[in-house]
Amino acid sequence: MGATEHGPEGSRRLGRGLLLLMSVATGLSVAGNYFAQPLLDVIGRDLGLSASTAALVVTVAQVGYGLGLLLLVPLGDLVDRRRLAVGLCAATAVFLTVTASAPDGTLLLVGTALTGLASVAAQVVVPYAATLAPPAERGRTVGTVMTGLLLGILLARTASGLLADLGGWRTVYWVNAVLMLLMAVALRLRLPVLPTPAGRGYAALIGSTLRMFADEPVLRWRAALGALSFAPFSVLWTALVFLLSGPSYGWSEAEIGLLGLVGAAGSLAASTAGRLADRGLVQHVSGIGALLLLGSWGLLALAGSGGPWPLVALLAGVIVLDLAVQAVHISNQNLVYAVRPEARNRLNSAYMTSYFVGGAVGSALTSAVWGAAGWGGVCALGAALSAAGVAVWTAERLRHRAVERTRQVEADASEGPAGAASTPGSASTGRAAR
């Protein structure tokens, strides 16, 4: 049996092997953007960088990723998506070698930015999987592939800490470069060829991607909510290395990396959120996720002093935060992908660009806040961003309900006086039921 059963949109089925391959591909693609987080201190010492300059490695990676989302991912609606995914994986491998061999901070930042730019292969693969999946299973499929992506983000920290202890921080990037070359070959052999929409050039393609923000209200709201959920995620994981390597905890790079295993527990939310979305509960999942994200900072605020109980609060806060971010993210993607299936790569580009702009802003703000106010200031920043996300979700739901009420009033009015007279009291009864 082949990797897929071919047919029109929504009738193809992903084989389990191909779905697993696509999940691993997304994880490995994005991992290179997060290897540096538990290694900022050791990289800074090796290359003579200050703490604030070292923290820019995270910001530069996210800026590069954001540019790739805006400029490269829409190409999936213009060119052969298999060739695009394979080419980006191979380019990621090349740019990882630039980072691995960097003799100074400048080349390190250049290699990191280029790696981030090419690593959007992950965001070509996600809508690829969504297109191959039947509509009734699309939420589960996206959730499964996004589980791979989240594990790549979180386990990158664990792998980088362990590999850095074995062979230095450069070893991490050399190993990932080899793995990305192997992934490029595997995707070339296994990914099916999909029809590519034609009829527009690159400039028109990028222009249509940007216009989607004006044309699609669901995209605007969910892009804002996504940015305000990923920003607190970046705040936490950028600041953790400074907290855990400092006097309160005094952890080594490997120990800091192991915290990624704890955060990986949140990846379970991706698949669960996808299944709940398939059952029509997507709005509930995103609202609960936004509230949990805000609540997680109450736990994290207790972790600043070090010691057994603050450590327990830290671990619990990390799990809740990562679970909440994934619940919001998968819910957002399911709503956005349903807007215009024929433009799924451009929708994903627009949404994910906003998402990672939020992450870049979060990490940049963390660099400044840590120096000025320490862990307490970081927790206040994360809570404020999370509260803004709750406000956006609430505003969207209120707007949606107002629109639905207006539509119902118009529908009732269109029935005319005869319809109203024939069923006295029906309008008030219906409103009471709603």
More confident residue, 324 or 259: 324
Identity of the highest mean pLDDT range in 167-176, 326-335, 425-434: 167-176
Q: How far apart are CA 341 and CA 194, in angstroms?
A: 14
Predicted pLDDT at 11: 40
Identity of the highest mean pLDDT range in 39-43, 179-183, 252-256: 179-183
Identity of the highest mean pLDDT range in 238-247, 308-317, 364-373: 308-317
pLDDT at 413 over 80: no
pLDDT at 425 over 70: no
Predicted TM-score (pTM) of the model is 0.75
Which residues, at least 6 apart from 7, have a Cβ–Cβ distance to it below 8 Å? none
pLDDT, tens only, 106-162: 899 999 999 999 999 988 888 888 888 787 777 778 878 878 887 887 788 778 878
HEC readout, 276-331 = HHHCCCHHHHHHHHHHHHHHHHHHHHHHCCCCHHHHHHHHHHHHHHHHHHHHHHHH
Q: Is the distance from CB of 62 to CB of 356 less than 8 angstroms?
A: yes
* Average pLDDT estimate for 6-17: 55
pLDDT at 269 over 50: yes
Q: What is the mean pLDDT of the chain?
A: 83
Identity of the highest mean pLDDT range in 59-63, 251-255, 296-300, 301-305: 296-300
Other C-beta atoms lying within 10 Å of the C-beta of residue 198:
8
Identity of the highest mean pLDDT range in 132-136, 201-205, 233-237, 422-426: 233-237
pLDDT at 178 over 90: yes
pLDDT, tens only, 355-412: 888 988 898 899 889 988 999 999 999 999 999 999 999 999 888 788 778 777 777 7
pLDDT at 194 over 70: yes
Predicted pLDDT at 433: 34
Tokens of 339: 């807007």
Alpha-carbon distances, residue 218 vs 249, 351, 354, 398 (angstroms): 43, 10, 13, 13
Tokens of 227: 């940015």
What percent of the chain clears pLDDT 70, i.e. is strictly above it? 88
Following DSSP, what letter does each residue of 232-270 receive, concatenated?
A: HHHHHHHHHHHHHHSTTT---HHHHHHHHHHHGGGGHHH
Predicted pLDDT at 206: 85
Predicted pLDDT at 422: 43
pLDDT at 105 over 60: yes
Q: Lowest mean pLDDT of 155-159, 222-226, 290-294, 410-414, name the range.
A: 410-414
Tokens of 58: 């995270």
More confident residue, 10 or 31: 31
The values of phi and psi at residue 4, to 5°, are -140, 165
Q: What angle do CA 167, 169, 174 make, to 5 degrees?
A: 80
* Average pLDDT estimate for 290-298: 96
pLDDT at 429 over 50: no
Which residues, at least 6 apart from 98, have a Cβ–Cβ distance to it below 8 Å? 107, 110, 111, 114, 115
